[in-house]
A and B are shown apart, each in its own frame.
Chain A
């Protein structure tokens, strides 16, 4: 008996989403098969990696995380430029962490000032990621949408609680929204429907499934993404046919095993290489589950993952 590859007949396709404007824009999505199953479908747009940049100087980063950015980390604009000019970043995710009411609680105006300076200085697509507090993000991202007019940025996280405010501004200023739900297929679908009803078009939505780092819930994110893709591609669930973004950097770098030094626990090995690998393995695992954009921190980890994407797509 001759061998024939049993193929899946995919009935759906992921929407294509463009972020950024002009020559600096990127398009993600468009897949007609499971991630990298190129023997039976296509991935017209390779998954992308965005470098994360914070809106303020981080206080608790490991030395080996600071190392690539030490000269620029005090200034978000210089930091972002270094990611692009030195490390070849194709996209920037600006994390608006200072706004967190449970943290620095910076006021909206001051955060928006940072956003304005960074956005004006960049020519790559930008993701603007709020602090995760629904009320604060509603105010913050509304204002951000306004100052980013014409840049076609991606705004997130947009939740069930604040999708109306942020969604309306995104429509008004023609931005992409990142719909964020807590590791659940039905909640993800529900929020996409709500955004659709509000008038956000299908080529303006990216999904954030909520990301768990390696050893800290990665498997939940992994399986929910696989279920999202299964529904989108084989069960004609049009309300799940959106690209997926995973904001993974901080989920990995904040963990205990990413902070311990070799001197603290010799059998964990070199701390820098270990953390870079923990970040890269998390990213690759999520890419295999269907991520279209992953947000990463360390340039060496980015390079490793970039190469894996290139080889899987070769």
Chain B
């Protein structure tokens, strides 16, 4: 856990030489404690002190990366049990299982699912990012699969217990940083060597919590750092509880042997894709690093991608939508114009309700720094003059014939100011709740 400035100070040379560009060792120690500078700036610190300091500053859950480039998957590195305590940083990777017994067209379908199951939302691309290639004893097929996967950008999990097969596969993928699955008590030395030789993260597959921790200790002792944990538990109750215990042991218990991200296998917990999806959702919430699924269907992976987006959204920062004009249901020059704030949730709900109404409309989203309508109004970010300036400048004037806008019901108080700002415009107070928009628009159309 993080040391205080005074604790760090005790480990420094205390010569106040100034080589670090700080006036005193104490000032340097304070800056280190605050994470504002690097220990390397001190040329005189002893090797022992350096080790102690780096040990103390190591995160309680190791951050591990697999894959490269666009599809690099970063897992672990988490610092809290509950997202409201700070945020969750590294969302779990979703992997599709591909076995060496699968027919060629099935293999191709699976690769193509990674390409097609991509969804744009809030300016982000939601997509699964991994393939798990499984060797069930058909070495030739497995190696062919590995070669096939090497031509794709996706992050790869190599599943085999045969050291020579694993080595051959790693040789093919040596620039792709796959995750090796998995070391056990029997093969950990040879798999450990492969992990080091190819600089690829390694899964430690034990049997339950305690056994897995002892395997991880063996791997740490032979010098491995980038590990992923599989306890082999495939029942929901125990699997779920283990995820909680692992996270807590690492964070609250400072228990190093469990201070690594985990991999889970909903694909081995049921043979029904619907049920598997709901099981996977338990692990998205708590606390998997990687989730291996038997298949990706649009209907099964999309809800999980949405859930992952929600759980891993930083609660400290409001999500925003870009300011601008959003046409909904193909509006024309006679369609109504609605104004709202740029808090993404507001945008989503409002646009979804307008869409539900099936009435062609223009939605003007104004930059309120991510504040919702009521807060933006209270903070003066949705004031009459600002809304007026926005309406005049956003380009909606050129798109409609009738100078008429609908403002949110919660911002009704700006009506007077806005009328002054927009002479000649008809300003209508809309509903307070988005749910009432469809009725509102329908009534407006009739009038």
Q: Which residues of A contact B (CB under 8 A)?
A: 2-6, 36-39, 60, 102-103, 132, 212, 214-220, 222-223, 226-227, 230, 254-257, 259, 262, 266-271, 273-274, 276-278, 280-281, 284-285, 288-289, 300, 304-305, 307-308, 311-314
Contacts and interface: CB of A to CB of B under 8 A. Distances in A.
Contacts of A311: 235-237
A219 B241 contact: no
Interface in B70-91: 82-84
B274 A273 contact: yes
Given A6-B253, A273-B274, A288-B285, 12 more contacts: A5-B248, A102-B435, A215-B309, A215-B348, A222-B310, A256-B352, A256-B355, A273-B299, A278-B303, A285-B311, A304-B275, A312-B237
Determine which residue in B285, B313, B439 has the highest number of CB atoms from chain A within 10 A of its CB, and name it.
Answer: B285
A269 B310 contact: no
A274 B235 CA distance: 25
A270 B298 contact: yes
A65 to B, nearest CB: 14
By Cβ-Cβ distance, the 10 closest A-B pairs, closest first, are A269-B298, A269-B299, A274-B299, A219-B310, A6-B253, A215-B306, A311-B236, A102-B436, A223-B84, A273-B299
A4 B249 CA distance: 8
A305 B278 contact: yes
Contacts of A6: 245, 248-249, 252-253, 255
A312 B286 CA distance: 13
A289 B299 CA distance: 24
Contacts, number: 170
Interface in B325-380: 345, 348-349, 351-352, 355-356
11 contacts: A6-B245, A6-B252, A102-B439, A103-B439, A219-B311, A223-B82, A227-B82, A256-B351, A281-B281, A311-B235, A314-B235
A203 to B, nearest CB: 28
Contacts of B351: 256
A314 B237 contact: yes
B209 interface: yes
A281 B304 contact: yes
A16 B316 CA distance: 34
B188 interface: no
A274 B83 CA distance: 27
B83 A223 contact: yes
B220 to A, nearest CB: 13
B300 A284 contact: no
Contact of A266 (B209, B298, B313, B348): B298
